[in-house]
Amino acid sequence: MRYPVNTSFVVANPSPVFIQAPSEKGAADFAIDFLMGAVSAAVSKSAAAPIERAKLLIQNQDEMIKSGQLSDPYKGIGDCFGRTIKDEGFVSLWRGNIVAILALLVVAIASNGVLVEVSHAQTICNVPLRGLMSCKPSATPPNPAPPSGVCCSALSQANIPCLCSYKKSKVLPSLGIDPNLAMQLPAKCKLPPANC
């Protein structure tokens, strides 16, 4: 006598490489994350500002002596701190910090915009990376699932000869994808077959 077994909770082929990604964040969550990052960067930059200022003073002490801004060379970092505080005041250790923070924020804003564009633009053989990843369950042994509509839609944009170049590559197996199963997907999606 056979007993029914519920296997709906068993994952067909768990992969240590790919896990379900969190959903995209909205503009408000992005703004909060960006502001928290900006505040932490400003705090850390401000905490290191006195050391940075002392470093710059020590590096430039020869020119400062030549121009008459400094009478004797510093004997070390402690002497630099002490003389700077005595001559210019404690707050002078943060001179130039606001400009450094503003420069840091400008670079962060610029690079973040570029990274967002790059992440949206990632493609392989004319197929967005997200589209290709939707095909992974259909090209993963031992029990590949039928290709989803998202997978077939992604493959309809693909440069098939380009995808064929990955058949003998070690890239697909390293991701847990069987190249032979992957090359069967266009036909399963009722697209022109990949004759590799």
Positions of the chain with pLDDT lower than 50, given as ranges? 9-11, 14-21, 114, 117-120
Helix or strand holding residue 37 (H, E):
helix 27-59
Q: Quick one: pLDDT at residue 92?
A: 93
Residue-range domains of the chain with CATH: 27-121 (no CATH), 124-188 (1.10.110.10)
Q: Quick one: pLDDT at residue 183?
A: 87
Q: Quick one: pLDDT at residue 112?
A: 61
Q: Are 172 and 166 in contact (CB under 8 A)?
A: yes
Q: Quick one: pLDDT at residue 128?
A: 76
pLDDT digits (tens, 9 = 90+) for 91-116: 999 998 998 888 887 877 766 654 55
Residue 126's nearest CA partner among 171, 163, 172, 159 is: 159
What's this model's pTM, rounded to 2 decimal places?
A: 0.45
